[in-house]
Amino acid sequence: MVNRCVLCESSLETHSHLFFECPYSAAIWRAIAVWLKISPDTSLPHLFHWYKVYNRGQGLVKKQRRCALMCALYLVWHERNKRIFKGIQATPVTIIRKIKVLVLLRLSSL
């Protein structure tokens, strides 16, 4: 059995592909990058470097970026599982909207 990505249905599903290289998740990352005014490079090494170097500390913008990163990872994984186990699909636009709402709700609670 070949483990194909359920988001794009064309590539082998690996962590790197699912979260960063898949056209579905890459569209989400690009939109979030524009929203947060960060580099749109969606590669895993770039994201880890960006997180390590630029997002340490307690500033509100840094908290917003960290929260967006975690929400994006979670919602891509959740979308994958919904497609596999429930047969339900959401567009990247829907996921992007959910990320923004979750981030803004989290920041408003601080």
Q: Which long-range contacts (CB under 8 A, 24 or more apart) does 99-103 make?
A: 99/28, 99/32, 99/68, 99/71, 99/72, 99/75, 100/35, 102/67, 102/71, 103/64, 103/67, 103/68, 103/71
The whole-model pTM stands at 0.86
Per-residue confidence in pLDDT tens, the chain, 110 aa: 468 999 999 999 998 899 888 999 999 999 998 998 877 776 667 777 767 776 666 788 888 888 898 899 999 999 999 999 999 999 999 999 999 999 999 988 87
